[in-house]
Amino acid sequence: MSTFSPTEIPNREDVPVEFTWDAATIFPNDAAWEDAIRQIEAGLPALTAFEGTLAQGPEQLLAFIKTTENTFQLLMKVYMYASMFYQADT
């Protein structure tokens, strides 16, 4: 195991790879990230379709929670992928 303790903040390309983020663990490439954004946008009408229906019963509420959770999980992946690149050399 190598050690890394810079006195100045180096550029990403100067940092040993074991100390850098691997954005490919979230999305393999930018195209997959953009596809996820499109999936989120396409799924928004499904969320708004629940408006005024949650009192219909527990099944409807559960469907809303699952839909919201799936959308939120994908949204967080999109956010983290972009955040890793933004914060790499800022």
**Residue 66, domain member (yes or no):** yes
SS3 content of the chain, % helix, strand, coil (to 5): 70, 0, 30
Number of domains in the chain: 1
pLDDT of residue 15: 81
Beta strands of 1-90 (E only): which ranges? none
* Mean pLDDT to the nearest integer, 34-57: 97
Q: Does 19 have pLDDT greater than 90?
A: no
**Residue 17, domain member (yes or no):** no
**Residue 78, domain member (yes or no):** yes
**Residue 55, domain member (yes or no):** yes
The pTM is what?
0.75
What residues make up the domain containing 31?
A: 22-88
**Residue 6, domain member (yes or no):** no
Give helix 30-48 / helix 58-88 axis angle, nearest 10°: 150
Give, rounded to a whole angstrom, the gap between the first and last alpha carbons of the chain. Answer: 27
**Residue 8, domain member (yes or no):** no
Q: Which tens digits make up the pLDDT trace of 66-77?
A: 999 999 999 999
